[in-house]
Structure 1
Amino acid sequence: MNAVLKHVVYTSQEHHKRQRDYIDISFQDIYNVFMNVLIQRQHVPRLYDPGPGNDINNKVTIVAKTFERYDCVNALISSVNKFYPNMTIIIADDSENKQKLEGNNVKHYLMPFLEGYAAGKNLLVSQVRTKYFLWVDDDFVFTNHTILERFIEKLESPTAELDLVAGQLMSPEGKISIFLNKHSWAQASYTNEENGGCISESHASYGTLKEFPNCQLKDMVINFFMAKTEAVRKVGFDLEFERISHRDFYVDALGHLRIALCDDVFIEHKQQNSEHYLDYRLMKNEQCASARYAEHILFKNNLRCMQAWNKRFREFGKCKTV
Structure 2
Amino acid sequence: MMRCLIQKKTFLVILSALLLFALLRYWTLRATTTVDVGPGQSNKAQKVLKERLQNVQNSYDNIPYVLKESVAGRLALNGCVCEADKKPAIDLPFAQVLFPRVWAQDDFHTAFQEAKLAQVKSRRQQEYNSFQQRYQTPADLLVIAEANSPLQYPTQGVVVRPLKTIVIPGLGLKEKHRQLHTVNLTATVGTFDVLATVDGVSVRGQGVMHMTLSSSLLSTLNRQLQFVTYTNTLFHPKTADTVQFETDGHQSVFTIKVGHAVIPKLYHSGYTGEYNISSLVTIATKTFLRYDKLQDLIDSIREFYPTIAIVIADDNEHPQPVIGPHIEHYIMPFGKGWFAGRNLAVSQVTTKYVLWVDDDFLFTSNTRLENMVEVLEKTTLDMVGGAVREATGYTATFRHTISVEEGGEEGDCIHIRNGYHHVIQGFPNCVLADAVINFFMGRTDKMQQVGFDPRLNRVAHLAPSMWISSLVLLTLRKWLFSGPILPEFFIDGLGILHIASCDDIIINHASKIKLPWGKSDSEKAYAKFRYSSSDAGQIRNALFYFKNRLKCMSSN
Query: Relative contact order: is structure 1 or structure 2 higher (C-alpha 8 Å, sep ≥ 6)?
Result: 1
Report the CA distance between 1:300 and its aligned residue.
1.2
Counterpart of 2:490? 250
Q: 2:238 aligns with which of 18, 34, 50?
A: 18
Q: 2:548 aligns with which of 284, 298, 301?
A: 301
Distance between the aligned counterparts of 1:104 and 1:190, measured in 2?
49
| Superimposed CA distance per residue, residues 52-78 of structure 1 (whole angstroms, 9 cap, x where no aligned partner) | 556221110000001001111100000
Q: 2:537 aligns with which of 284, 290, 294?
A: 290
**Letter of the 1:45 counterpart:** P
Secondary structure of the structure 2 residue equivalent to 1:85: coil
Distance between the aligned counterparts of 1:262 and 1:276, measured in 2?
34
Report the CA distance between 1:19 and its aligned residue.
2.6
Distance between the aligned counterparts of 2:362 and 2:450, measured in 1?
27
Counterpart of 1:261? 501
TM-score of the aligned structures, taking structure 1 as reference length = 0.83
Q: 2:288 aligns with which of 67, 90, 107?
A: 67
Note if 1:127 corresponds to 2:348: yes
Residue pairs, 1:74-113, within 5 angstroms:
74-101=295-322, 103-113=324-334
Whether the 8 Å CA contact 1:50–1:56 is kept in 2: the answer is no
**Letter of the 1:116 counterpart:** G
Counterpart of 2:32? none
Counterpart of 1:148? 369
Distance between the aligned counterparts of 1:217 and 1:25, measured in 2?
42
Note if 1:7 corresponds to 2:170: yes
**Letter of the 2:401 counterpart:** A
Instruction: Indicate how the Cα distance of structure 1 residues 204 and 97 shifts in structure 2: closer, same or farther if over 3 A, else same.
Output: closer
Counterpart of 2:530? 281
204-213 or 249-258, which moves further after superposition? 204-213
Whether the 8 Å CA contact 1:189–1:201 is kept in 2: the answer is no
* Number of residue pairs matched by the alignment: 300
Secondary structure of the structure 2 residue equivalent to 1:307: strand
**Letter of the 2:459 counterpart:** I
**Letter of the 2:373 counterpart:** I
**Letter of the 1:296 counterpart:** L
Instruction: Indicate how the Cα distance of structure 1 residues 192 and 18 shifts in structure 2: closer, same or farther if over 3 A, else same.
Output: farther
Counterpart of 1:210? 425
Counterpart of 2:385? 166
| Superimposed CA distance per residue, residues 175-201 of structure 1 (whole angstroms, 9 cap, x where no aligned partner) | 312xxx34x422332425233222122
TM-score of the aligned structures, taking structure 2 as reference length = 0.50
**Letter of the 1:217 counterpart:** L
Distance between the aligned counterparts of 1:35 and 1:256, measured in 2?
27
Whether the 8 Å CA contact 1:62–1:87 is kept in 2: the answer is yes
Distance between the aligned counterparts of 2:350 and 2:369, measured in 1?
17
The two structures, once aligned, show a CA RMSD in angstroms of 2.6
Secondary structure of the structure 2 residue equivalent to 1:161: coil
Secondary structure of the structure 1 residue equivalent to 2:268: coil
Whether the 8 Å CA contact 2:419–2:433 is kept in 1: the answer is no
| Superimposed CA distance per residue, residues 100-147 of structure 1 (whole angstroms, 9 cap, x where no aligned partner) | 226532111111210111111111011101111000000100000000
Whether the 8 Å CA contact 1:92–1:123 is kept in 2: the answer is yes
Whether the 8 Å CA contact 2:420–2:434 is kept in 1: the answer is no
**Letter of the 2:170 counterpart:** H
**Letter of the 1:132 counterpart:** Y
| Superimposed CA distance per residue, residues 188-242 of structure 1 (whole angstroms, 9 cap, x where no aligned partner) | 3242523322212233532122243322211111110000111111111111101
| Superimposed CA distance per residue, residues 226-283 of structure 1 (whole angstroms, 9 cap, x where no aligned partner) | 0011111111111110111422111111111111111221100114571121122222
Distance between the aligned counterparts of 2:511 and 2:239, measured in 1?
48
Whether the 8 Å CA contact 1:116–1:243 is kept in 2: the answer is yes
Instruction: Indicate how the Cα distance of structure 1 residues 27 and 156 shifts in structure 2: closer, same or farther if over 3 A, else same.
Output: farther
Q: Mark the runs of 5 or more structure 2 residues left unpaired by the alignment.
A: 1-144, 154-168, 172-228, 461-485, 513-518
237-246 or 200-209, which moves further after superposition? 200-209
Q: Mark the runs of 5 or more structure 1 residues left unpaired by the alignment.
A: 310-322
